Structure 1
Amino acid sequence: MIKTPLFLLVIGLTFILIMPRNSETKEPSKTSLEVGFAKGDATPKVGINPIYIAGFGHNRKAEGVSDPILIRVMVLKNEGKKYAFICADLIGLFKDQVDEIRKELKDFENVMFSCTHSHEGPDTLGLWGQTPFQSGINPDYMLSLVKITVNTVRDAAKNLTPCETEIAAVSIPELLYDGRPPIVKMDELLTLRFNKEKTKTALGIVLFWHCHPETLGSINKKLSSDFVGYTVNEIKKQTQAEAIVFTGAVGGLMTSLKVPIKNQQGENLNDGTFEKTERYGQLLANASLNSLKKAKAVNLTPIVVRKKEILLPVDNPIYRLAKQLGVFKREIFDWDLQLNKHPSLNQREEKHPSVKTEVSIIRLGELGIGCIPGEIYPELLLGKVAKTPEKEADYQNASTEPDWFQKWNMPYKTVVGLANDEIGYILPKKQWDEKPPYAYGSKSAPYGEINSLGPDTAFLIANAFNELLSK
């Protein structure tokens, strides 16, 4: 739940819907698969130069470290090709920086970089500095991130081991709070277990979960991965296997704050405490491990990756101001006027500022993963966008964004948010509610639009996914 002053640009693994096996889905042929895991420590040094903590307000300087900021990596190898899956305990990373990492890993068929979207780690987008007019980024730290990430990917590749795979899912709505009506949750936790061939010894466990890691809240002054670190540590404790938590569909707004959590003595734990954060992480780990007791074998080969670069208009005037001030540092492009011809899109002038981002689909045999470059509202994936806008909404004649996820014909499927970029919130145009009066009786503007590129973002992303799926 990024809470920032109005003029702050916040661009900043959705995830999980496991679907029943479709009888019409063609079974992919199984080929050998190897997996390797590694983690790299990307904790900045506190005390030399100010380290600004990302995710809530300005000038939140780190005063220490609660737990390390890690970059966790899984590498898969199939038919001689390597694929890297990366998740960092960070608020997000722009595509420009992701491309720098990819340049150092050209021997990989694909590199997917994502962030947990932790609100307790260092500023990596530039938006949480001392004031709204100053970047919170440490340039030396950003350079070190590239090196640490590349080295960790190389380490994971050194650990490649032949494996067998299992999949499980469980619905846990009790661990998710939706902070904006309408209440729509993506509350299925999807888990993959990679076992050593024949012995069934767990090599690694991968979770897909849809929740902002922000349990520690805005008062915390210690760097932390929030609940994610506690989740992977609990899994490691119980299984001796490495674990990764990918963040999914967290728009709308999916959070661990306000989730009622009790300790083992039955006492309520408060937001903003390490006690609640640790307990939440343990509960998530236990839900994952318990679901694996009924896991099914799954074929994750062959591996196919398709991706597409697209332009998204920067309609948000606050974002444009942030770019001018040097807070928002990424390349800006001119809008494609040909897109003005589409009746569902707002008209824009020549030279309208746009950003270039990427959407991609990764097919791991029976599992499809949609890689989304931001924080998408679950209703866009679940087919639960309201048929008609609330009477106070800004676009009364808006069309519903094209479906792509529900019609994706895969035995299993999920999404990873903040994948290869962080463009902010991706919400239905029918729900856009920037001007008063506000829907649902609210006296103030709902949270989301302030940190979105604009009302057509979701439509353009959905169109791009449909193009990829049609190939």
Structure 2
Amino acid sequence: MTKQNFLFCWMGFLLLVVSCQNSKIPQLQVGVSKAIINPPIGSYIAGDAQNRTFTGVLDSLYSKAVVFYDGEKSMAIVTLDCIGLLYQDLQKIRERTSQLEFDIPFSPENIVISSTHTHSGPDVVGLWGKDFSESGVNKEYMDFLVQTVAEQIHKASKNLQGSTIRYGQSEFGEEWVANICQEEIDRSMTVLQFLDKNKKNIVTLTNFACHPTYMDAVFSEVSADYLSGFYKEMEKEWGGEHLFLQGAIGGWIQPTDKDGGYQKALQRGQKLALSATASLLKPKNLPKSKLNFQRKTVFFPVMNEAWQQLSAAGIIVDRKVTDVIESEVVWFSIGEATFASHPGETAPIYGMKTKELMPEGPRFILGLSQDALGYIIKPSYFENQNLPHAPYLTRMSLGKETGNVLMEELTKLSQQNKNTELPN
């Protein structure tokens, strides 16, 4: 063999080695699926007064599932257009999902359910029936919802494709979003986008905090509220799918320009989507894509006897409430993006404190995720009933210790996530 041929052979060998190494670089696989989850006409409406029922549909509600798989671990994020799914129903979804066969290693424990909190969706809690003598939950609908969510997770896992990840961040809502308790507010909006091999959108995850209550007590039709406008505009701009992850809306983050008009809701959602789009015009890339997932069962103290009474009366269905209530929090990361769940409507201060525990990179606070335990507010609201809206907020809360317990558990999970995090 001549020296020249030897060099050509050696260079070919090196290229083959590099090629093999590159093929082993982990790439996050992402799959998405969605289904309409409109309740039957005549079902009870969650939010505002009791004994309100649906008479029609303005726009559809969705269950949207995205499954992530990094070659070793997998997980699912599901958003539901409803007031807030309870922990016992998450457990039913996990049980149903466990009966399905997946092509990838998948644990139902790694399912995250986040509710958008629309006040024009079905009563999935039980509080908005005819009166407190009966629950407003339609059991047949709940069976349908559990089955649908499990199916969408399964379908999403069949749609996996390689992705690259980028994100955008901005501030939003100065004109129309306020903390009507006149305290802290977090206006940050974070968008995480997953692109396919052709740089087309697979799915976006958008995190922002504001009650979807433009339609509350005004219409009797099904609606995702301003999120309907958000979904439509995002689909128009990007194609693919789009999940809205509600933030820390307790204590009390509301639209300030409600005029009773449906078009106003759609316009606000459209502007939110346009802001999300603008933040992605100069995106930052996420070089890492490994998954890291931590979860913790938490027993929150119940200082509000009304929760125990509602459980005993069967208004809150299939939920045991004593001097404690069993719930769950999760802390996970997708590459450099960090997520933490709040099992209710948390005051913005708890969202800000949670973000302080997170490393640099995109940060997501998932309000009304894994559970819906009412308002999680500062202890001062229990100590001083003269604070704005304190009588209502405390009446809809477990008690003054909920926020402290939540932050203790999230602090522990953040440390566990840090200790188990591996480089790409």
Whether TM exceeds 0.5 here: the answer is: yes
| Equivalent residue runs for 1:357-368 within 5 Å | 357-368=327-338
Matched residue SS, 1:165: strand
Pair 64,164 (structure 1): closer, same or farther in 2 beyond 3 Å: same
Partner of 2:394: 449
For the pair 1:169 / 2:169, whether they are aligned, the reply is: yes
| Equivalent residue runs for 1:29-68 within 5 Å | 31-46=26-41, 50-68=42-60
| Equivalent residue runs for 1:381-420 within 5 Å | 381-383=351-353, 404-420=354-370
Q: Spell out, residue by residue over 1:329-353, the C-alpha distance to the aligned partner (whole angstroms, 9 max, x if none).
A: 243365xxxxxxxxxxxxxxxxxx2
Contact 1:212 1:255 in 2 (8 A): yes
Partner of 2:419: none
Q: Spell out, residue by residue over 1:130-175, the C-alpha distance to the aligned partner (whole angstroms, 9 max, x if none).
A: 1133211111000011111111112212221111111001101325
Q: Which has the larger radius of gyration?
A: 2
Partner of 1:140: 140
Contact 2:207 2:245 in 1 (8 A): yes
Structure 1 stretches of at least 4 aligned residues deviating more than 6 Å after TM superposition:
none
For structure 2, which runs of at least 5 residues remain unmatched after alignment? 1-23, 99-104, 417-424
* Matches of 2:133 and 2:260, distance apart in 1: 27
Matched residue SS, 1:174: coil
* Matches of 1:315 and 1:108, distance apart in 2: 37
Contact 1:332 1:354 in 2 (8 A): no
Matched residue SS, 2:65: strand
| Equivalent residue runs for 1:57-456 within 5 Å | 57-106=49-98, 108-109=106-107, 110-174=110-174, 176-197=176-197, 199-256=198-255, 258-259=256-257, 270-332=258-320, 353-383=323-353, 404-433=354-383, 435=385, 438-439=386-387, 445-456=390-401
Q: Percent identity?
A: 26
Contact 1:176 1:254 in 2 (8 A): no
Contact 1:166 1:194 in 2 (8 A): yes
The number of residues matched between the two structures is: 385
Cα RMSD, aligned residues only = 1.9
* Matches of 1:380 and 1:448, distance apart in 2: 16
- Larger RCO: Structure 1 or Structure 2 (Cα < 8 Å, ≥ 6 residues apart)? 1
* Matches of 2:177 and 2:137, distance apart in 1: 30
Contact 2:382 2:390 in 1 (8 A): no
Q: Spell out, residue by residue over 1:161-216, the C-alpha distance to the aligned partner (whole angstroms, 9 max, x if none).
A: 1111110011013255334333211111111111112x211122221111111111
Matched residue SS, 1:104: helix
* Matches of 1:95 and 1:130, distance apart in 2: 24
Counterpart of 1:196, as a letter, is D
Counterpart of 1:98, as a letter, is L
Q: Spell out, residue by residue over 1:340-370, the C-alpha distance to the aligned partner (whole angstroms, 9 max, x if none).
A: xxxxxxxxxxxxx211000110111101100
Matched residue SS, 1:124: coil
* Matches of 1:175 and 1:80, distance apart in 2: 45
* Matches of 2:360 and 2:37, distance apart in 1: 36
Counterpart of 1:286, as a letter, is L
Contact 2:311 2:317 in 1 (8 A): yes
Contact 2:70 2:291 in 1 (8 A): yes
* Matches of 1:283 and 1:43, distance apart in 2: 25
TM-score (norm 2): 0.86
TM-score (norm 1): 0.78
Pair 204,445 (structure 1): closer, same or farther in 2 beyond 3 Å: closer
Matched residue SS, 1:102: helix
* Matches of 1:318 and 1:35, distance apart in 2: 42
* Matches of 1:155 and 1:190, distance apart in 2: 26
Pair 434,97 (structure 1): closer, same or farther in 2 beyond 3 Å: farther
